[in-house]
Structure 1
């Protein structure tokens, strides 16, 4: 396979004559790093060793829960149940024992006793409530449920599930099956399945990534530089996440996403700097480093800032899992960015021409200016409407299905069929009815008068029983600690993932007294989904506003900054349109090996949008920073557009190739969430690079002409002066 530019690239041009320009702040940083390479290497080695020592603990030290809407009614209900009802809350473990004979058989009672003792021995379990006739013993008498109350935080209860579900399952045998289930066990199985799938996908993506890197760089030494940045950033960020996890919960997913972003951005940034360094090295190592940092380094810094502000908007969602995932990615980006601006220039300055060492036969990285992408730019300049309209039609057509997109929290089908949570879930449904795994918990506060309070609880129970969608209500349970709280447990008629459950919960909250709390694991999911739906427009608006402001400050050109920001919505909308066709409607489900849920998982719009926009703005910055550099030098809109494609098109092409390969390997993973992430992000990057950044945005530059770079006088007085040219 030949490099895309191998046939048409020209030999490197001679270095411009004249004295070198005085380096700017980033150029001086690059020169300092080059001249103090031992200090830089020692500092990074120390940081990697010190922080990396904690990295092996990352899968056990990080949080397994946190998928909740802080401050919601359901979270308040859980906290009351934990405090006043012996941990009989949504995070409690349910131990389901099914037998081929009645559960009062001596052999089955022995299994129940051993399961109870096993759970009670764990300090994270408050008390074990034995099976109750008419409540947790099935009508046919062959299924019983032990309730292991929560005596720890939701994160620690997930860890308890990690430790207990295996030993409990080992009690199965002789016609008796034992499975742990409930929300904590579900998150335990969910996290394990997804972690294993993501690690498998990472391993699968490495050969493809290395092949693309070698094709893009043309030599093994140059191709290894992105790996240097990635490994340094990953080791430092993994150790940092472990240390931060001792202060407050950090989702285990933060590390998975951090790993993915560190790899993707490390490759992007290394590509941009190495390609520019190659073009400038005829000036000598020091001047080449200074020029590289003052031009490509400035674009990388702006790109990193854009990624950080895009992800920071996710912090507006008051959910621990979302905030810690965004924070984990931001931490990885910071470390990769720091390595790019210090470690990479130091290594480049030391390598000089040896950056092309171990070049592979018939693979040539080519000069900084790509003849093939220059020719593509000339074609777009001559026929802007033809290509621009074609790209726009494709993007709008793919985005159209997003109008019918539905979202919800994932169902039990996202965990493997043989998992403990799913087996116990199925057993409970079969024995107690379809809504039993989603039993609602209704907490009623103390009343001033005891007799009146009893009547109020009885009326509330009757009202709950009469609510459409409720199959039955268990007898009211008063709090044993004398606090006056009472708990009603109501079994819905539908599966916890059914949309009808939301209407039932809304009816209960409207009909019950204002101080009653409606909760339960299924209701926590509904409240989180409601929060995400409410916050998504705000997150999208903040992400776009901050992205526009950063581009405006850097480019000093409001028109192209606005167009570059808005163009990102097209690829994002198209990606979610494809996601609706695949995951909601089921097109291609057989090929990808999954059963559609009829909706997209609820976290996808807000979280994936921020990730997609961050990546899209990464490419936007590379293209527009190069265009601004050419416009500053020539004042010619044509040279700005064509030169930007000639100098950054190959970088965008190669970087997008790596990202698409990495993301699409996740589509081959077993569980559904990694598939959703792989398809949505992979399609978004593919469309953004191929149709938006390499077609539509250059066409917009062509149609806008010099107006694209106009700065109004009042804005010129306000904005700082940032130049992307070195001389």
Structure 2
């Protein structure tokens, strides 16, 4: 038997509806767009064509580097090496010549000379230092390294690696192999492998996406509308990124993630608006413009709030002072802005023009315009009757999956994320085989000339250092000397961090410890340091947005906190798969023993943005029903009946898209696919469609209570229309 909710002595009076003929701001915008179809269409065509003209340049224009901690000691050391040591910096290229005979053989010498000439002909290379006995020629005399100094910034050095690694590899012949390696080549291979994998995953996901869209919309015409938003948003954002790249470097990953988010959010927003538009017309005599106005005044507000929440979540990543992270977040935000603008202007214009034809080419079993789902309404009734039964099960599953996150370890990617046949990894392996495990991670220590000898001796006596080269004073008289030291362990070995920490603690304060491996360590340290701040800011701003929109502090806080459950569970699964190796054979990878270091901060922001997307849809619908009825049961059951199908379908598309990344080649796309796919699946299935409705059931009217002092300062935003 159901008992009346008495959580508050006096139920709040539902907010009175506004004048029926007066639409809100978004409603008026939608009606205007519907009434000016040609103007809106021409405007968007100009935007898409104007910016889209630059889109084909996106791959070549965007940056391949930027994975660094700005202001760190290692970045300062690299900059000094670029300026004063002929480009012998972490961004320099290493050309590894390995032979089945001594490198003094005339045939090998000829290949070395050609390799040096090939590199020297590139304007981004400063000088090419030939192999030096005792330093860059192996003890067995069969492997030699040429150093091609960096004359350009790290981004251009990655482009130089793009251009040079093929011609250099083509010099291999008759038992002589030539491979370019080093950090710039690693990022070149890494970016290409991941870009190819993401493109492959996108192609694999399209058939599944289209099938889910047709099933979700029930109409081929309606199913095409998300693609309209996605293509408009992608073309505009890609062209914008090219233009922005002329002002400052933008990571190529920005475009990859922008493409993914534009598709996901375009589908979410179109689903929400189209379903509401069809409902507004069903069995009523509303004109297309009136139906659009009602749609925008209700679902449009939820979409706008969702977009703002996504933007706020991603903006917190800007707190990480790393060019790659900031530009990736910026690229996604740009795509979201364009998709949101298209959703609020272009989509209403198209819906107004289509009218009832939005249901054209409908599937035979689809009931046109059905907005309230009887199945999700029945599910809401069941949750209302048995909240503890279903809520406890969902909570137990999420907590069990989240438990492994306690032992999660993170580090920057090892060389194994690059395919074995790629230049960087082949050269890396040859260097390790000939010079020792730590040779690919050689440290570059910059110190004043006067103390170079004592610093060199101190470095040689430090545990974890296998060898130290003589100090090299700068040729330009800057007063700096460089000492190169070879660690005793592989660059991805955690022991290297301890060695670097010891050097920095014991060497003179004006001595800088750098090198490519140390730049990774500094970035990892920065990410570890900034992750709690990013999480706190994301959650705080997300809560404030919900509070302003819903005017209900309790449900805003609980809705925000619920996102931590799906996020924790996703990272718990990530630890089991990528750190412990469970299922690695099925997914076709070798575990590194840790999760890539950039995953927690960046994936958290992405997961939270998507989770809040669903939270907004559910709670905005609940608030609309509560405004009309003042009944907490109608708010809970009605929100599931009206938004459950949209959340379920949108999540289905996202899960399908993300899981295709799990089967693509390199490790980072697999991590992204598993973490994001599991997070969306759990968030939609257990958090938004079970736990959050249960919370609404248990909190009753208290969920929507606004304290008097808060009521005076918050703006009044209504999610109902008319």
TM-score by length of 1: 0.96
Deviation, 1:366, is: 5.6
Aligned residue for 1:561?
556
Aligned ranges for residues 360-509 of structure 1 at < 5 Å?
360-364=363-367, 367-446=370-449, 453=450, 456-509=451-504
The ranges of structure 1 where at least 4 consecutive aligned residues each deviate by more than 2 angstroms after the TM superposition are: 18-21, 360-366
Are 2:257 and 2:332, in contact at CA under 8 Å, matched by a contact in 1?
Answer: yes
Q: Which residue of 566, 579, 585 maps to 1:590? A: 585
Aligned residue for 2:537?
542
Are 2:524 and 2:597, in contact at CA under 8 Å, matched by a contact in 1?
Answer: yes
Aligned residue for 1:618?
613
Aligned residue for 2:218?
218
Aligned residue for 1:7?
none
Deviations 1:108-133 (A, max 9, x none): 11111100000000000000001000
Aligned residue for 2:340?
337
Structure 2 distance, partners of 1:206, 1:133, is: 55
Structure 2 distance, partners of 1:715, 1:595, is: 54
Q: Which residue of 309, 317, 320 maps to 1:317? A: 320
SS at match of 1:97: strand
Deviation, 1:286, is: 1.4
SS at match of 1:148: strand
Aligned residue for 1:718?
713
Structure 1 distance, partners of 2:234, 2:511, is: 47
SS at match of 2:96: strand
SS at match of 1:689: helix
Are 1:215 and 1:365, in contact at CA under 8 Å, matched by a contact in 2?
Answer: no
Deviations 1:89-140 (A, max 9, x none): 0000000000111111111111111000000000000000010000000000
Aligned ranges for residues 85-234 of structure 1 at < 5 Å?
85-234=85-234
Closer, same or farther in 2 for the Cα pair 1:535/1:444, shift >3 Å?
same
Deviation, 1:359, is: 1.2
Deviations 1:441-500 (A, max 9, x none): 000024xxxxxx1xx211111110010000000111110111110010000000000000
Deviations 1:208-267 (A, max 9, x none): 000000000011100000000000000000000000011100000000000000000000
Are 1:27 and 1:292, in contact at CA under 8 Å, matched by a contact in 2?
Answer: yes
Aligned residue for 1:26?
26
Are 1:502 and 1:526, in contact at CA under 8 Å, matched by a contact in 2?
Answer: yes
Deviation, 1:361, is: 2.6
Deviations 1:65-106 (A, max 9, x none): 000000000000000000000000000000000011111111
Aligned residue for 1:449?
none
SS at match of 2:178: strand
Q: Which residue of 308, 326, 330 maps to 2:329? A: 326
SS at match of 1:147: strand
Are 2:622 and 2:635, in contact at CA under 8 Å, matched by a contact in 1?
Answer: yes
TM-score by length of 2: 0.97
Are 1:215 and 1:363, in contact at CA under 8 Å, matched by a contact in 2?
Answer: no
Deviation, 1:363, is: 3.9
Aligned residue for 1:13?
none
Aligned residue for 1:294?
297
Q: Which residue of 641, 663, 676 maps to 2:671? A: 676
SS at match of 2:70: coil
Structure 2 distance, partners of 1:652, 1:606, is: 25
Deviations 1:246-296 (A, max 9, x none): 110000000000000000000000000000000101322111000000000
Are 2:384 and 2:633, in contact at CA under 8 Å, matched by a contact in 1?
Answer: yes
Greater Cα shift, 358-367 or 665-674? 358-367
Structure 1 distance, partners of 2:175, 2:209, is: 50
Structure 1 distance, partners of 2:19, 2:28, is: 17
Aligned residue for 1:12?
none
Structure 2 distance, partners of 1:258, 1:130, is: 43
Are 1:626 and 1:643, in contact at CA under 8 Å, matched by a contact in 2?
Answer: yes
Aligned residue for 2:513?
518
Are 2:91 and 2:157, in contact at CA under 8 Å, matched by a contact in 1?
Answer: yes
Structure 2's unaligned 5+ residue stretches are 1-17
Aligned residue for 1:664?
659
Deviation, 1:20, is: 3.9
Structure 2 distance, partners of 1:465, 1:711, is: 67
Aligned residue for 1:346?
349
Are 1:21 and 1:726, in contact at CA under 8 Å, matched by a contact in 2?
Answer: no
Aligned residue for 1:14?
none
Structure 2 distance, partners of 1:31, 1:486, is: 69
Aligned residue for 2:625?
630
SS at match of 2:483: strand
Deviation, 1:174, is: 1.1
SS at match of 2:602: helix
Are 1:217 and 1:365, in contact at CA under 8 Å, matched by a contact in 2?
Answer: no
Are 2:278 and 2:369, in contact at CA under 8 Å, matched by a contact in 1?
Answer: no
Structure 1's unaligned 5+ residue stretches are 1-17, 447-452
Are 2:279 and 2:369, in contact at CA under 8 Å, matched by a contact in 1?
Answer: no
SS at match of 1:530: helix
Aligned residues, how many?
A: 703
Deviations 1:655-705 (A, max 9, x none): 000000000000000100000000000000000000000000000000000
